[in-house]
Chain A
Amino acid sequence: MSDHVVSLKVYVGIFLALMVLTAVTVWAAYLDLEGPLNTVVALSIAIFKATLVILLALLMADYISRPWQVLGQGW
């Protein structure tokens, strides 16, 4: 288990990006886009935001930085 610690700047950066995207999605909701495009835009932003939150969760743990292990090793 590595003592994996991500710089606090990364957390704050993700937080700010999420806040900006929230503002963008509210702004985009008032644009009259063609057909289903409003839904596509809103959900695309939501998926992107969800990805950022998952990134926050993954950085919190050491999922990204730890080495890959071969399954079954040591069994």
Chain B
Amino acid sequence: MSDHSHSIVEHQFDDMAQQKETTTLAMWAFLLTEVLFFGGLFGAYTMLRHRFPEAFAVASNSLDLTLGAVNTAVLIGSSLTMALAVHAAQTNKRKQIILFLVLTIALGSVFLGIKAVEYSHKFHEHHVPGASFSFTEVPDWVDPATLSYNVENATQMFFSLYFAMTGLHALHMIVGVGIMLVMIWMAYKNRFSEHYYGPVEISGLYWHFVDIVWIFLFPLLYLLGRHFGGGH
């Protein structure tokens, strides 16, 4: 182990390998608690969708599928640039680390921007749960008389989950952008080498996790229900 790499081993660790194992395991443990965190919302979604399937379908169909799909692609692209940033760190290419982290932040920002546009549409349509909520776009294939519940009220539950889940996800994206800014700063200060790139790697794990959450949110919130009422 070179002197350079030895100097960045925190005093509680024997060596670099032990430090890297420990920090990586810690990130995996944190991500498991994140699964529990999001899991509660996914559980609520499952229960309520099972109880109010028609309302969830019509409310889901009111979301902008194009924007949702574009955002999915944008986020997948950011996972690629993140992986390339880690690759650059492992091969000690400082300029490339910075370039790919900047691209990751740029794609993350595009995602958040599109999300803001979607939220804005929902505010204008009065689809935000609360006192001014109203959902009048109930299509013909839903006959309120045959349902045991009020469709408008139940769509409000879908939108509550929509804002809670995508909001929590967006919060994680914002935190991720902050983490990447710190990584860019560390790369700029030449902190990383082929012997020391753990911070970039575990930041990458976090970013991929946030991508995975969206991979599940996208079909659950945007897609399920599209086939009702003759499709398009």
List residues of chain A with CB under 8 Å of any chain B CB: 1, 3-6, 8, 11-12, 14-15, 18-19, 22, 25-26, 29-33, 38-39, 42-43, 45-46, 49-50, 53-54, 56-57, 59-61
Contact = CB atoms under 8 A, between A and B. Distances in A.
A42 B83 contact: no
The DSSP consensus for interface residues of chain A is helix
Given A15-B76, A26-B69, A50-B212, A43 B83 contact: no
Interface string B189-217: 00000110000010011001001100110
Given A54-B208, A61-B201, A25 B219 contact: yes
Interface in B162-206: 194-195, 201, 204-205
Given A53-B215, A54-B208, 18 more contacts: A3-B90, A3-B194, A15-B76, A18-B76, A19-B73, A19-B76, A29-B223, A29-B227, A32-B227, A38-B224, A42-B219, A43-B219, A45-B219, A46-B216, A50-B215, A56-B79, A57-B83, A57-B208
A20 to B, nearest CB: 10
Nearest to B205: A57
A53 B227 contact: no
Contact of B79 (A4, A26, A53): A53
Given A26-B69, A39-B224, A54-B212, A46 B219 contact: yes
A8 B227 contact: no
B65 interface: yes
Interface in B137-177: none
A26 B84 CA distance: 27
B216 A50 contact: yes
A30 B231 contact: yes
A35 to B, nearest CB: 11
